[in-house]
């Protein structure tokens, strides 16, 4: 037993020397998580703000200017252009310079003063259906609010329902709170998958696998020696992203911080297992890389990382049950945002554990077969 | 530059590709798989939000409100709560995303003309879904109030909205053209980023160097087979997008083919540059992820609108070729943009391709010496 541990240790040391012999690897292992966290913290927001808008104001009255001012003041719209013809509006939309174009007709102010219902033309670029929906909703709200203010108390509805809404866990609804914890899960998966599978296959490609096999290393020790270094790198990435998230982006950690390494370890079972499995399929590093992506892309898309699982067709929802990323995302977001403890998270942990054991067992079996 | 030598290298590369049917199969299946997932599984539309209702009023008015919500299709009630604790549990465990509690004086207040209150809690951890849910809720309660109050008052201003280019606001039409750009960027990187590094690792590069083949010939020879694979992928994606998913293709298809070729040329050349400079497949795979995959996915405007990003990042997106290709694809598919409008993007892609190709040539010369 003691000898076995010693052999694994030697193997891990050899592996680290090999990985970091290439000095660029050090930088890469550090840079990838940092870049991803930064981009997700700053760039990836599904919040819709500053929708580029063009205004075609035929009325040029105090009222029309007031309406435009209110649209701009809402923060949702940023007025980029004042145009003087419909063809200009068309051109701006065609070129994608603006997403929305508002046309205020000549008698707008006159109608308002006489309290006769008037209308506004709004053109929306529907290319981005998501932004378009939100933009129309915002525009509607701002305009109706303005109409109400102009109409005064007379337009009061006979029935008033006051909706008091609160958002739990993320009261300001910041999308970085949702995204950054998820980055931990995806970075670990992508780097571990690629590194594990490619490192094993490289050994075979260069022909050093034979050398390893003539050493007293047992297959299981070989597997452990090959995977432990990448597990350690994964833990490093996890700590790094968590620090950036907390220090730079003010992501709260409401749950127990000890559950973070524990659940990461359970998650790594299936991720490293999958990497190992890919290495038994691939003959070349090229194949390993493509296969890793072939697994990663669907896993990423069908995990709830960006796209909620409930919105998928039922068949795809079942498919997500074999996706380790799915469980880890629930755990990690629960830990960070909801302050979930074991009481709530244990089913996810258990599922992840079972999945990991199965994947690891399967790939170890295949791995030993290929060695023999 | 001799055509014969380019042909010879291309042939050698083709033989190598054919010997690796697994990689080749994946190169063709990857776009198909991604398009299928995005076409069938993923939608940005929010429906069936799991909702827990705590109805303390238990009146016909409160029941009517609940059925208003469920009938809309946006909310599906998973449980009627018996206590406030139920709400905590359902939200904490993620079994419900929305909790609606109706106070006991809800119907009384409505009948006596007072303002009736409703308490709503949404799970904010998914901020996007939460925002949309709140929007739906406020719209639906407004409709409910108008209906109960008997008829609606016409607002003084009626906004008449018209949607262009994607009239039905299908998220599929929006995602798929952009997705093709991401797929092409990833495929281009996957195909070429290892090809030169592999020759170095296996020691076959020395053999190639000892032949009379010149640098540009070698690089072009390596590019051509992958260009063909990439182009077939492109055709496959466009065919699937139009025929399987019914995304309208309003622009000129030849123009699209031209600009796609230019983009592919740049993407493949970038892969070659990575491969030449790293000389290690492991490092090359990691770098091509940072340089190609992440920017194409996150900073191209394919899903996440560039106008929402902070200014410095918006500037960075200007040097990302996928950004221009996304614009071209969305413009060609949905807007039917002519060359007049796409010319800026096309020119950028051309310049990018030529510059990267030149870099590949320079870097490689040094290594031989």
B174 and A127 in contact by Cβ < 8 A? yes
Q: Which residues pair with A79 in a beta bridge?
A: A53
pLDDT of residue B369: 43
pLDDT of residue B162: 73
Domain ranges of chain A: 16-44+173-371, 51-155
Please determine, for residue A269, whether its predicted confidence score (pLDDT) is greater than 90: yes
Q: How far is CA A311 from the centre of its chain?
A: 16
Taking alpha carbons only, the member of B193, B216, B166 closest to residue B291 is: B193
pLDDT of residue A370: 74
Which residue does chain A place closest to B142, by CA atoms?
A161
Contacts of B16 (CB under 8 A, 6+ apart): none
- A204-232 tens-digit pLDDT: 887 788 788 788 888 888 888 888 999 99
- Domain B49-148 carries which CATH code? 3.40.1710.10
Please determine, for residue A81, whether its predicted confidence score (pLDDT) is greater than 50: yes
Integer Cα distance of A125 and A134 in angstroms: 12
Confidence of residue A28 (pLDDT cuts 50, 70, 90): confident
Highest mean pLDDT among A28-42, A177-191, A199-213, B225-239: B225-239
- A290-337 tens-digit pLDDT: 888 889 989 998 998 888 887 788 888 899 999 999 999 999 988 998
**Residue among B130, B138, B194 minimizing CB distance to A285:** B194
Instruction: Calculate the average pLDDT of chain A.
Output: 85
How big, in percent rounded to 5, are the helix, strand and coil portions of chain A? 70, 10, 20
In chain B, CATH 3.40.1710.10 covers 49-148
Residues of chain B with pLDDT under 70: 150-157, 159, 365-369
Minimal CA separation from A104 to chain B, in Å: 10
Taking alpha carbons only, the member of B33, B36, B32, B67 closest to residue B53 is: B67
Integer Cα distance of A270 and A274 in angstroms: 6
pLDDT of residue B365: 63
pLDDT of residue A206: 78
Asked if residues A363 and A280 have their Cβ atoms less than 8 Å apart, the reply is: yes
Q: What is the mean pLDDT of residues A13-31?
A: 82
Integer Cα distance of B206 and B222 in angstroms: 16
Confidence of residue A157 (pLDDT cuts 50, 70, 90): low
- Domain A51-155 carries which CATH code? 3.40.1710.10
B141 and A163 in contact by Cβ < 8 A? yes
Model-level pTM?
0.80
Q: Is A302 on the interface with B (CB under 8 A)?
A: yes
**Residue among A127, A155, A302 minimizing CB distance to B334:** A127
pLDDT of residue A372: 60
pLDDT of residue A30: 81
Which of B16, B124, B226, B297 best probes binding to A when mutated, by most A CB atoms within 10 angstroms? B124
pLDDT of residue A353: 96
Of residues B58 and A170, the one with the higher pLDDT is B58
Rounded alpha-carbon distances, angstroms, from residue B337 to A90, A124, B211, B245, B341 = 12, 17, 47, 21, 6
pLDDT of residue A266: 95
SS3 for B165-189 is CCCCCCHHHHHHHHHHHHHHHHHHH
Asked if residues B211 and B150 have their Cβ atoms less than 8 Å apart, the reply is: no
Minimal CA separation from B228 to chain A, in Å: 18
**Residue among B22, B92, B116 minimizing CB distance to A344:** B92
A290 and B27 in contact by Cβ < 8 A? yes
Rounded alpha-carbon distances, angstroms, from residue B3 to B217, B218, B221, B326 = 8, 11, 9, 34
Q: Is A252 helix (H, G, I), strand (E, B) or coil?
A: coil
pLDDT of residue B257: 94
């Amino acid at each position: 037993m003691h000898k076995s541990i010693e052999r694994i240790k030697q193997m891990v040391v050899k592996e680290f020397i090999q990985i970091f012999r290439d000095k660029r690897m050090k930088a890469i292992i550090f840079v990838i998580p940092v870049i991803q966290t930064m981009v997700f913290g700053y760039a990836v927001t599904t919040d819709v703000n500053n929708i580029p808008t063009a205004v075609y104001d035929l009325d040029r009255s105090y009222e029309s200017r007031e309406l435009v001012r209110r649209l701009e003041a809402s923060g949702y719209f940023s007025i980029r252009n004042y145009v003087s013809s419909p063809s200009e509006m068309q051109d701006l939309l065609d070129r994608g310079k603006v997403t929305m174009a508002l046309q205020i007709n000549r008698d707008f102010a006159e109608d308002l003063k006489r309290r006769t219902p008037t209308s506004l033309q709004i053109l929306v670029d529907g290319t981005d259906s998501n932004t378009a929906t939100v933009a129309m909703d915002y525009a509607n709200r701002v305009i109706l609010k303005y109409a109400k203010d102009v109409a005064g108390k007379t337009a009061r509805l006979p029935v008033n329902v006051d909706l008091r809404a609160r958002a739990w866990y993320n009261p300001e609804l910041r999308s970085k709170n949702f995204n950054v914890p998820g980055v931990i899960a995806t970075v670990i998966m992508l780097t571990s998958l690629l590194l594990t599978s490619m490192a094993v296959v490289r050994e075979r490609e260069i022909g050093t696998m034979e050398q390893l096999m003539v050493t007293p290393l047992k297959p299981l020790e070989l597997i452990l020696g090959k995977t432990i270094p990448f597990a350690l790198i994964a833990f490093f990435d996890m700590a790094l992203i968590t620090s950036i998230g907390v220090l730079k982006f003010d992501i709260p950690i409401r749950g127990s911080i000890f559950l973070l390494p524990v659940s990461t370890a359970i998650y790594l079972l299936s991720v490293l297992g999958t990497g190992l499995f890919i290495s038994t399929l691939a003959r070349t590093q090229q194949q390993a890389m493509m296969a890793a992506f072939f697994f990663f892309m669907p896993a990423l898309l069908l995990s709830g990382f960006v796209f909620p699982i409930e919105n998928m067709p039922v068949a795809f929802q079942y498919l997500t049950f074999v996706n380790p990323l799915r469980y880890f995302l629930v755990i990690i977001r629960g830990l960070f945002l909801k302050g979930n403890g074991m009481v709530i998270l244990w089913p996810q942990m258990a599922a992840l554990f079972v999945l990991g054991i199965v994947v690891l067992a399967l790939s170890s079996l295949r791995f030993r077969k290929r060695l023999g | 530059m001799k055509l014969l030598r380019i042909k010879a290298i291309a042939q050698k590369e083709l033989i190598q590709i054919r010997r690796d049917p697994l990689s080749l199969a994946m190169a063709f299946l990857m776009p198909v798989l991604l398009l299928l997932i995005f076409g069938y599984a993923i939608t940005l539309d929010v429906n069936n939000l799991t909702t827990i209702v705590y109805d303390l009023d238990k009146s016909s008015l409160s029941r009517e409100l609940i059925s208003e919500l469920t009938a809309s299709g946006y909310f599906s009630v998973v449980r009627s709560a018996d206590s406030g604790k139920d709400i905590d549990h359902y939200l904490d465990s993620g079994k419900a995303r929305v909790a609606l509690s109706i106070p006991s004086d809800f119907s009384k207040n409505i009948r006596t003309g007072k303002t009736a209150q409703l308490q709503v809690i949404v799970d904010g951890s998914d901020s996007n879904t939460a925002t949309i849910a709140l929007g739906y809720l406020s719209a639906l309660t407004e409709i409910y109030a108008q209906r109960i109050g008997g008829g609606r008052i016409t607002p003084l201003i009626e906004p008449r909205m018209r949607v262009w280019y994607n009239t039905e606001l299908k998220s599929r039409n929006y995602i798929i053209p952009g997705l093709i750009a991401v797929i092409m960027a990833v495929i281009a990187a996957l195909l070429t980023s290892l090809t030169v590094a592999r020759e170095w690792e296996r020691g076959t590069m020395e053999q190639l160097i000892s032949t009379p083949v010149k640098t540009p010939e070698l690089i072009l020879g390596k590019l051509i087979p992958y260009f063909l694979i990439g182009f077939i992928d492109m055709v496959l994606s466009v065919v699937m997008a139009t025929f399987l998913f019914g995304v309208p293709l309003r622009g000129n298809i030849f123009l699209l083919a031209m600009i796609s070729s230019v983009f592919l040329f740049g993407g493949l050349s970038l892969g070659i540059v990575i491969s030449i400079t790293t000389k290690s497949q492991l490092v090359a795979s990691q770098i091509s992820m940072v340089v190609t995959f992440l920017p194409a996915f996150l900073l191209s405007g394919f899903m996440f609108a560039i106008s929402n990003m902070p200014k410095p990042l918006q500037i960075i997106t200007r040097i990302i070729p996928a950004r221009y290709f996304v614009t071209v694809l969305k413009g060609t598919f949905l807007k039917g943009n002519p060359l007049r409008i796409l010319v800026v993007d096309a020119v950028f892609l051309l310049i990018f391709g030529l510059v990267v190709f030149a870099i590949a040539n320079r870097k490689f010369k040094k290594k031989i010496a």
